[in-house]
């Protein structure tokens, strides 16, 4: 199942641009990692919020997809930034808190790894929808 997820992630050009990798993908949760390079920063040298948003959005989608067992899209999500992301790697860990017939509610914790230490830098919560009822079919 992880291999399937890895291929899905690699099929996204934007995920390749950010060099994201999927390191866990099962019904118990999802983990996505991004090595921090200069390209991913904002003007103060921290990881740009857009990178954390990408990681949260994608980790939530994979967590919802694993829980619903089908193709899905993120319907909506919310993100709180907690501290500047300074370090070598971003880790986004997401889990489906509840899965219904057509959508799943998921949460995500985002960590920055700095010299081997994980620090929580953002948290997210969102809705993942099966494709047949998703906005993208309209």
Alpha helices per DSSP H over the chain: 2-10, 13-17, 49-68
Note whether 83 and 123 are within 8 A (CB).
Answer: no
Query: Which token pair is 64?
Result: 């919802």
Total residues belonging to the chain? 138
- CA angle centred on 47, ends 42 and 50, rounded to 5°: 80
Verify binding: residue 3, its own copies, rule CB under 8 A.
no
Q: How far is the CB of 47 from its own copies (least distance, A)?
A: 8
1 binds its own copies (CB under 8 A): no
Q: Which of residues 13-32 bind its own copies (CB under 8 A)?
A: 13-15, 17-18
Q: Contact letters (x/-) for its own copies, 66-85, by CB under 8 A?
A: -------xxxxxxxxxxxx-
Q: Which of 41, 89, 114, 118 binds its own copies (CB under 8 A)?
A: 41
Which range binds its own copies by CB under 8 A, 22-30, 62-70, 96-104, 110-118? 96-104
Which one among 2, 19, 69, 135 touches its own copies, defined by CB under 8 A?
135
Question: What is the rounded distance in angstroms from the CA atom of residue 74 to the CA atom of residue 60?
Answer: 7
């Amino acid at each position: 199942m992880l291999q399937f997820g890895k291929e899905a992630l690699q099929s996204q050009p934007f995920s390749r641009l950010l060099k994201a990798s999927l390191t866990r993908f099962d019904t118990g949760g999802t983990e996505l990692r991004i090595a921090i390079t200069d390209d991913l920063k904002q003007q103060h040298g921290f990881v740009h919020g857009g990178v954390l948003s990408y990681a949260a959005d994608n980790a939530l989608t994979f967590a919802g997809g694993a829980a619903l067992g089908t193709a899905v899209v993120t319907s909506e999500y919310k993100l709180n930034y907690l501290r500047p992301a300074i370090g070598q790697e971003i880790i986004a860990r997401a889990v489906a808190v509840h899965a219904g017939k057509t959508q799943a509610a998921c949460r995500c914790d985002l960590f920055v790894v700095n010299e081997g230490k994980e620090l929580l830098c953002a948290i997210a919560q969102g809705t993942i929808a099966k494709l047949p009822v998703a906005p993208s079919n309209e």
